[in-house]
Amino acid sequence: MTSAVIDRRYSGITVVVTATITWIRERYSDPPEVSGPLVMGSHWMLEMHRRDDGSRTFGLFLAAFDIVQLGAANFKTTEFVGFSTPGKPPADWLTASLIFEMGTMPLAETPEELITLVEKPRPYISLEAGLHASPLSKRARMRLAETYQDGISISDVARELGVSHAHLARQFRRDFGLTPVSYRHHLRVNAAVQRLYEGEKILDAGYDVGFNDAGRFYQDFRKVTGTSPGKCLDLIKKRHDSNRARR
């Protein structure tokens, strides 16, 4: 499940759960509205998109913990399949977020088929925000990805890197388009959504991903996703019910 920084609008959806992989098939009725950088959580994502007129098929790989810039024009009237999971990416060349061409081939029917299609490298365009970011910002992003669920403060991270909080915040925002605090909030909310999907209670999910205050959790959850934890949980339950009905 992606962050609601991207508004995925679709006219049909099929969800199939195979072991620990959720295989999703959706169709856009309108292109997604992109309001800023997309922050990935601990799961990477692999998708395959095909234009409705059959004129183009392309792949999308979003790396775990990446900050990504997507253009809505790519997604106009497309159907797509894909899945998201933690761990090692499915091919050695998929090390960062990118978009790659796949001719006009039909969509894959299973995760295994999609993985086979991306075994060999294809020409691609990077989707990473901050592709030429400073070493300081890259180290800070890595450190935040390692510690976002802990009590370590941004000031502590800055101190570890030998700079002030203010200096790190300015450089990070210049390189990635958002502050270290915002990046960490996105990571925590993404992790909370995943925990809700796995059946954890709302407040437990908030505390477990690093929010020590329920009010702050609800505030940041809404800021990142555009909705409340309760409404998100309702959507998850509807998808689970839809899943069971199709089995």
Least-confidence region, from 28-37, 102-111, 165-174, 209-218? 28-37
Would you say residue 83 lies in a domain?
yes
Q: In the chain, what percentage of residues exceed pLDDT 70? A: 80
Residue 21 pLDDT: 53
Residue 181 pLDDT: 95
Residues 6+ apart with CB under 8 A from 107: 25, 48, 50, 57, 79, 80, 81
Residue 9 pLDDT: 33
Cβ-contact 186, 210 below 8 angstroms: no
Residue 16 pLDDT: 36
**3-state SS class at 17:** strand
Would you say residue 246 lies in a domain?
no
> For the domain that residue 101 is a member of, what is the CATH number?
2.60.120
Is there a single domain that holds both residue 18 and residue 112?
Answer: yes
Average pLDDT, the chain: 83
**Order of strands across the sheet that contains 78-85:** 10-18, 21-28, 78-85, 44-51, 57-62, 98-101, 124-126
Q: Which token pair is 4?
A: 């609601």
Would you say residue 245 lies in a domain?
no
Q: Give the C-alpha separation, 220 to 112, whole Å.
A: 36
Per-residue DSSP letter, 168: H
Would you say residue 182 lies in a domain?
yes
Higher-scoring residue by pLDDT: 18, 144: 144
Is there a single domain that holds both residue 10 and residue 110?
Answer: yes
Is there a single domain that holds both residue 21 and residue 70?
Answer: yes
Is a pLDDT exceeding 70 seen at residue 36?
A: no
Domain of 154?
Answer: 135-238
Of 102, 126, 150, which marks where a domain is finished? 126
Q: What is the mean pLDDT of residues 233-240?
A: 78
Would you say residue 244 lies in a domain?
no
Of 99, 126, 153, which marks where a domain is finished? 126
- For the beta carbon of residue 37, count every other beta carbon within 10 angstroms: 21
What is the residue-wise DSSP string for 74-117? GGTTEEEEEEEESSS-SSTT--S-EEEE-TTPPPPSSHHHHHHH
- Could you give the angle at which helices 180-197 and 165-176 cross, rounded to 10 degrees? 70
> For the domain that residue 222 is a member of, what is the CATH number?
1.10.10.60
Is there a single domain that holds both residue 71 and residue 180?
Answer: no
Domain tally for the chain? 2
Is a pLDDT exceeding 50 seen at residue 6?
A: no
Is a pLDDT exceeding 50 seen at residue 28?
A: yes
Least-confidence region, from 2-6, 67-71, 113-117? 2-6
Which of 200, 187, 100 is CA-nearest to residue 141?
187
Residue 123 pLDDT: 93
Q: Which tens digits make up the pLDDT trace of 150-167?
A: 989 999 999 999 999 999
> In terms of C-beta density within 10 A (0-12 exposed, 13-18 middle, 19 or more buried), how is residue 10 classed?
middle
Is there a single domain that holds both residue 170 and residue 114?
Answer: no
Q: Which tens digits make up the pLDDT trace of 56-87?
A: 999 999 999 999 987 766 666 678 889 888 88
Is there a single domain that holds both residue 92 and residue 145?
Answer: no
Distances (CA, A) of 111 to 34, 37, 99, 107, 210: 26, 27, 18, 11, 32
Q: Of 130-134, 164-168, 195-199, where does the model show the most confidence?
A: 164-168
**3-state SS class at 7:** strand
Is a pLDDT exceeding 90 seen at residue 114?
A: yes
Would you say residue 215 lies in a domain?
yes
Is there a single domain that holds both residue 227 and residue 198?
Answer: yes
Q: What is the mean pLDDT of residues 130-135?
A: 92
Is a pLDDT exceeding 70 seen at residue 120?
A: yes
Is there a single domain that holds both residue 12 and residue 60?
Answer: yes
Would you say residue 34 lies in a domain?
yes
Of 77, 102, 126, which marks where a domain is finished? 126
Is a pLDDT exceeding 50 seen at residue 140?
A: yes
Buried b (16+ CB within 10 A) or exposed e, 38-61: bbbbbbbbbbbbbbeeeeebbbbb
Longest dimension (CA), the chain: 55
